[in-house]
Structure 1
């Protein structure tokens, strides 16, 4: 199952939760990032993704660590996640491969993940970005996170809220999918490769 979203340019993407251990998706999105996008995402130069990082980024459980992936024509093109830092706070992070930036995929992913965060009792979201990353700054502001300069970076926190954009994600569809039992990495991979034949949870 997926949540279908319409993109700014008239195209579409499918969103679903990342399955635990789904390292191949993490790797695919990382490979689609330019060196600048990798630095902006990880805040340090990252020519390759170390094995420990791959395993950590795929170590999702649906509550402490929640991640969603966006797929275009069955190919992973973006990820968004939150990781709890306390019972009611979590750190938010996201990335979209360079080829698909500017289409609204980041907005859709953040919209979906903040919807799940609110449902899971998260009342504060935290984020850190590089100065000059205007697109991420604007998206975080729409998600409720206000950033301020701190030690050469921009850091902030705020109450998560629905992301306002041209094609908002249907929250009921997101929560219905998030409530389903977590898929195994092998099941999720099979679903991704045959998404055209899978039922979708449509947006409003």
Structure 2
């Protein structure tokens, strides 16, 4: 992953058809080398994208992401990683030439605290894909009330260390791994992502998830009414 260079974003909110009758949003962005990348929220249960990104990681990249050797992604891990809800577990997907190229996610570990993790397939590392993903996901996290980030990274993962430094997170060595906790702040320097468009996409995504729950008769209520959720994600 590259943490240098500014990514030019078209500032256009577009839609993709999905399992529900609602549309799913995505954002088009331009990388420093002129390449295009599409960013969008991961949909609940979307394991195919998870597997495609995992397959694009080398054994070294898999170890750096999961902190252990992992020749395959177990079924239980796929289910957990795909169990996103647009508030407490949020993941965004990057696509290059229509192919999954990376994922960034946060998982809330407390009322105002979340753990951040991200990965980029080896073929697209060094292009700035990680920067746009982290910028988008931390934008959603801030809008959702997350104030603190927690991270764990391997010491030899230099690209991730640099990117986390841009978030203002200080890392310290603990039992062979670098750990950090810091107040969530915008990525600096910014990637160029239109953060207002990201928040709008997050609101639309939350609404689509809620519609699917209602249409599918999930048997449980959303944690908050959509109006309250939209108000939280809206810019202040």
- TM-score (normalised: structure 1): 0.87
Secondary structure at the counterpart of residue 179 of structure 1: helix
Q: Determine the structure 2 residue equivalent to 1:38.
A: 62
> Is the counterpart of residue 112 in structure 1 residue 142 in structure 2?
no
- Correspondence for 2:92 among 62, 68, 89: 68
> Is the counterpart of residue 158 in structure 1 residue 182 in structure 2?
yes
Structure 2 CA distance, aligned partners of 1:104 and 1:93?
A: 16
- Higher-Rg structure is 2
Deviation at 1:167, TM superposition (A): 4.2
Deviation at 1:165, TM superposition (A): 4.5
1:128–1:155: 8 Å Cα contact kept in structure 2?
yes
Deviation at 1:182, TM superposition (A): 3.4
Residues 153-173 of structure 1: per-residue CA shift (max 9 Å, x gap): 000011222223474111000
Secondary structure at the counterpart of residue 122 of structure 1: coil
- Correspondence for 1:100 among 110, 115, 124: 124
Structure 2 CA distance, aligned partners of 1:167 and 1:139?
A: 11
Q: Determine the structure 2 residue equivalent to 1:7.
A: 31
Q: CA RMSD in A?
A: 1.2
2:135–2:190: 8 Å Cα contact kept in structure 1?
no
Q: How does 1:48-197 map to 2 (within 5 A)?
A: 48-165=72-189, 167-180=191-204, 181-182=207-208
Deviation at 1:73, TM superposition (A): 1.4
Secondary structure at the counterpart of residue 110 of structure 2: coil
Structure 1 CA distance, aligned partners of 2:98 and 2:128?
A: 17
Residues 162-187 of structure 1: per-residue CA shift (max 9 Å, x gap): 22347411100000000012356xxx
Secondary structure at the counterpart of residue 59 of structure 1: coil
- Pick closer, same or farther for the CA change 1:23–1:6 going to 2, 3 Å: same
Secondary structure at the counterpart of residue 139 of structure 2: helix
2:131–2:191: 8 Å Cα contact kept in structure 1?
no
Greater RCO (Cα-Cα under 8 Å, separation 6 or more): 1
> Is the counterpart of residue 24 in structure 1 residue 48 in structure 2?
yes
Q: Structure 1 stretches (4+) deviating beyond 6 angstroms?
A: none
1:20–1:182: 8 Å Cα contact kept in structure 2?
no
Q: Determine the structure 2 residue equivalent to 1:187.
A: none
Q: Which moved more, 1:141-150 or 1:116-125?
A: 141-150
Structure 1 CA distance, aligned partners of 2:164 and 2:208?
A: 27
Structure 2 CA distance, aligned partners of 1:123 and 1:147?
A: 17
For structure 2, the 5+ residue unaligned runs are 1-14, 16-25, 213-236
- TM-score (normalised: structure 2): 0.76
